[in-house]
Amino acid sequence: MTASDDSSNAVSTPMKTPAQAWETLMDGNRRFVESSSSHPNQDAARRASLLSNQQPFAVIFGCSDSRLAAEIIFDLGLGDAFVVRTAGHVIDNTVLGSLEYSVEYLQVPLIVVLGHDNCGAVTATKSAVATGAMPAGFIRDLVERITPSVLTSLRKDPNSDVSEMIVEHVKQTAARLVENSPIIASAVTRQKTAVVGLTYRLNDGRADLVYSNGSLDL
């Protein structure tokens, strides 16, 4: 990359530490919140620079909800983020495999779990737990995987609302990545990567930190 485009150059700089990756991610979200996105790394030169390899500085594992498109809310471009999304950010083996690939082969220094308020998958799970009526088809699989988070939230506070359940679900999802994957756990222990959990606010576009494992201090 040349230094002629400041915004592009800033993001294409290899991210050495989890803290630097975290700072870049939060800077991008701040620009998005302020409606001053710079849309970095989205031109032909960037596209050409990525032909033979990629070095994303984060892997974003978020809910599939159309309102929290990962590259948009963090003001990113091509090659910046490795993205995995499922409804309610539920984990299965292929999700873990995708995350492990990003850590093992792409050396991403930051794993982001991204939930959001008014999450339909968590709301459906809250309803299923309350009524005992499970949804049809493979949607049931989503609900079953979110149920532990909803139950934990209800155990802490029988009157907990969907927002509290979503925070709990982000925390549990982030913690489970480290518990279930020796590759991720090893990278965290060696301080090669950090895991953060964020909840995204639909109304103002802000992503708030609710969980972290690994130092984010510069």
SS3 breakdown of the chain: % helix, strand, coil, rounded to 5?
Answer: 50, 15, 35
Give 119 or 207: the residue with its C-beta nearer to Zn ion.
119
Compute the least distance from the CB of residue 37 to Zn ion, in Å. 22
Q: From the CB of 64, what's the least distance to Zn ion, in Å? A: 7
Instruction: Work out how close the CB of 163 gets to Zn ion at its nearest, in angstroms, rounded to a whole number.
Output: 12
Least distance to Zn ion, CB of residue 187, Å: 26
8 A C-beta contact, residue 93 and residue 84: no
Beta carbon nearer to Zn ion, 63 or 187: 63
Q: Which residues bind Zn ion (CB under 5 A)?
A: 63, 65, 119
d(CA 135, CA 113): 25
3-class SS of residue 115: strand
Nearest residue (CB) to Zn ion, 78 versus 83: 83
DSSP strands (E only) in 43-193: 58-63, 81-86, 110-116
Cβ-based nearer residue to Zn ion, 63 or 162:
63
What is the nearest approach in angstroms of Zn ion to the Cβ of residue 120? 6
Q: Which is nearer to Zn ion, 119 or 184 (CB)?
A: 119
Residue showing tokens 């083996």: 93
d(CA 181, CA 176): 8
Alpha-carbon span 194 to 214, nearest angstrom: 5
Minimum distance, C-beta of residue 41 to Zn ion, in the bound complex (Å): 26
Residue with smaller CB distance to Zn ion, 146 or 177: 146
Where helices occur in 112-160 by DSSP H, the ranges are: 120-131, 139-156
Q: In what order do the strands lie in the sheet with 194-200?
A: 81-86, 58-63, 110-116, 194-200, 207-213
In terms of Cα–Cα distance, which of 183, 191, 202 is closest to 96? 183
